[in-house]
Chain A
Amino acid sequence: MKELMLGNEAIVRGAYEAGVRVVSSYPGTPSTEMTECAVKYDGIYAEWAPNEKVALEVGIGAAVAGARTMCCMKHVGLNVAADPLFTVSYTGINAGLVIVVADDPGMHSSQNEQDSRNYAKAAHIPMLEASDSAECKSMVKRAFEISEEYDTPVLLRVTTRIAHARSLVELGEREERPLKDLEKNPRKYVMMPGFAKGRHVVVEQRENKLLADCNGFIDLNKLELSGKELGVVCSGAAYQYVKEALPRASVLKLGMVYPLPFELVEQLSDYVEKLVVIEDGEPFFEEAIKAKGFAATGKEKTGVQGELFARKIAHLFAGAPDPGPQETQNIPGRPPVLCPGCPHRGLFYVLHKLGVRVSADIGCYTLGAMAPLNAVDTVVCMGASIGMAHGGEKARGRGFAEKTVALIGDSTFMHSGVTGLINAVYNESTGVVIIADNSTTGMTGHQENPTTGKNLKGDIAPCIDLVKLCESLGIKRVSIADPFNLKEFTALVKAELAADELSVIIAKRPCALLKCVKPQPALHITEDCIKCGACMQLGCPAIVDQGNGPSIDKSLCNGCGLCPKVCPKGAIKGGAEE
Chain B
Amino acid sequence: MIQIVIVGVGGQGTLLASKILGHIAVASGLDTKVSEVHGMSQRGGSVITHVRISKEGETVYAPLVEQGGADAVLAFERLEALRALPYLKEGGTMILNNQKILPMPVITGAAKYPEDALETIKSSTKTVAVDALSMAVECGSPRAANVVMLGVLSKFLPFAPELYEDAIRALIKPRFIDMNLAAFAKGRALAD
Contact = CB atoms under 8 A, between A and B. Distances in A.
B85 interface: yes
Q: Chain A interface mostly helix, strand, loop or mixed?
A: loop
A311 B37 contact: no
A113 interface: no
Interface stretch (B104-112, B147-155, B179-187): B104-112
Given A240-B62, A555-B142, A335 B45 contact: yes
Contacts of B23: 4
A166 B38 contact: no
Interface stretch (B26-34, B90-98, B124-132, B157-165): B26-34
A33 B42 CA distance: 15
B102 interface: yes
Interface in A327-381: 328, 331-339, 364, 367, 370-372
Contact of B43 (A30, A166, A338): A338
Point out which of B45, B113, B114 has the most chain A C-beta atoms below 10 A from its C-beta. B45
Given A4-B26, A165-B33, A334-B46, A323 B40 contact: no
Contacts of B106: 332
Given A332-B113, A336-B45, A541-B107, A164 B36 contact: yes
Interface centre among B38, B102, B142 (most CB of A within 10 A): B38
A3 B26 CA distance: 7
Contact of A371 (B9, B38, B41, B108): B108
B124 to A, nearest CB: 13
A336 B107 contact: no
Nearest to B64: A309
Interface string B62-80: 1110110000000000011
B41 A164 contact: no
B67 A109 contact: no
A161 B85 CA distance: 22
A401 B76 CA distance: 47
A32 B142 CA distance: 29
B118 interface: no
B39 interface: yes
Contacts of A310: 62, 64, 66
Given A243-B61, A311-B66, A328-B86, A336 B40 contact: yes
A539 B38 contact: no
Nearest to B25: A4
A474 to B, nearest CB: 36
Given A309-B64, A331-B114, A30 B107 contact: no
A545 interface: yes
B82 A168 contact: no
A336 B41 contact: yes
Interface residues of B, number: 52
A495 interface: no
A334 B61 contact: no
Contact of B38 (A109, A244, A546): A109
B79 A334 contact: yes
B119 to A, nearest CB: 15
Given A4-B32, A165-B36, A443-B43, A334 B108 contact: no
Contacts of A539: 104, 107-108
B37 A108 contact: yes
Interface string A309-334: 11100000000000100101001111
A338 B11 CA distance: 12
Contacts of B32: 4, 166-168
A541 B102 contact: yes
Interface string A268-296: 00000000000000000000000000000
Contacts of B83: 328, 331, 334
Given A333-B103, A336-B40, 14 more contacts: A3-B26, A4-B34, A132-B33, A167-B33, A167-B60, A243-B61, A243-B62, A311-B66, A323-B67, A331-B79, A335-B45, A335-B104, A541-B101, A541-B102
Shortest Cβ-Cβ A-B pairs, 9 listed: A29-B39, A109-B39, A336-B45, A332-B111, A165-B63, A334-B103, A336-B43, A109-B40, A166-B34
19 contacts: A4-B34, A109-B38, A165-B35, A165-B36, A166-B32, A166-B35, A167-B34, A168-B31, A168-B32, A328-B83, A328-B84, A332-B111, A334-B80, A337-B104, A371-B110, A539-B108, A541-B104, A543-B107, A545-B107
Interface of A: 2-4, 6, 29-30, 32-33, 108-109, 132, 161-162, 164-168, 237, 240-241, 243-244, 309-311, 323, 326, 328, 331-339, 364, 367, 370-372, 443-445, 536, 539, 541, 543-546, 553, 555-556
